[in-house]
């Protein structure tokens, strides 16, 4: 089932990354900005050979394209986009709708194609994302992102961390200060906050609960 199909007005006037004026939202509302559809041809063309490499048996019809609104820390309503697996698409749509309505801050939400498929560049820019066919950070097996079953939220302020041969591995590297989870940032995910609760309610596991390594940005099914 697809929820809340977008209006031509909302799709035509605003692109991912655009701020939507409050005056517009007062007149037309936000409902049309929340949609999940099969991957449009123009998006497929961008993804093919970049985030999509035909790995892990994932086909185009296994994936869905989401458009949502999110609030940045200044309260601006921003158009976001995401590709995910069809099995979690409606879950994510509902999560992001509630985060938006409660002004939970998400700075940026663009496809990794905006960064040439470079996960590190996307994280450094604090870009919230989902689908990208690649190995897990420690190497070897494919990441859950390769199947569209993992989401990274505000990654610059919620880094990945593990120890290897006595050396700390932090991704993105610029985020080492945010391994201190008492640091102050509106974009930090804290156990029990709205973001954490909503993802848990929809059946996702949080990387911040992992033993032996931490991935504070990461929610997966």
Edge-first strand order for the sheet with 205-206 is 150-152, 218-220, 205-206
Mean pLDDT, residues 143-172 taken together: 93
Is residue 122 within 8 Å of 154, Cβ to Cβ?
no
Helices and strands (DSSP H and E) totals, the chain: 6, 10
The pTM score is 0.91
Query: What pLDDT is attached to residue 134?
Result: 82
Name which of 78-92, 158-172, 184-198 the model is least confident about: 158-172
CA–CA separation, 199 and 46 (whole Å): 28
Edge-first strand order for the sheet with 35-38 is 19-20, 77-85, 63-71, 35-38
Mean pLDDT, residues 40-53 taken together: 97
- Residue 88, pLDDT > 60, answer yes
Query: What pLDDT is attached to residue 8?
Result: 44
Is residue 134 within 8 Å of 171, Cβ to Cβ?
no
């Amino acid at each position: 089932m697809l929820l809340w199909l977008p209006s031509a007005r909302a799709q035509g006037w605003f692109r991912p990354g655009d701020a939507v004026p409050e005056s517009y939202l007062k007149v037309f509302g936000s409902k049309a900005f929340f949609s999940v559809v099969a991957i449009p041809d123009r998006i497929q063309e961008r993804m093919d050979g970049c985030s999509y490499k035909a790995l892990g048996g994932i086909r185009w019809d296994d994936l869905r394209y989401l458009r949502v609104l999110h609030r940045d820390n200044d309260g601006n309503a921003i158009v976001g986009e995401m590709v995910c697996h069809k099995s979690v698409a409606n879950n994510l749509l509902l999560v992001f709708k509630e985060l938006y309505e409660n002004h939970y801050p998400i700075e940026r939400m663009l496809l990794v194609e905006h960064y040439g498929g470079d996960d590190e560049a996307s994280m450094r820019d604090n870009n919230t994302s989902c689908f990208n066919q690649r190995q897990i950070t420690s190497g070897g097996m494919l990441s859950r992102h390769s199947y569209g079953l993992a989401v990274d939220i505000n990654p610059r302020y919620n880094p990945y961390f593990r120890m290897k041969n006595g050396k700390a591995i932090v991704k993105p590297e610029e985020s080492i200060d945010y391994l201190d989870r008492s640091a102050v940032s509106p974009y930090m995910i804290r156990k029990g906050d709205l973001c954490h609760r909503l993802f848990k309610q929809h059946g996702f596991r949080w990387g911040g609960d992992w033993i032996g390594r931490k991935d504070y940005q990461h929610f997966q099914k």
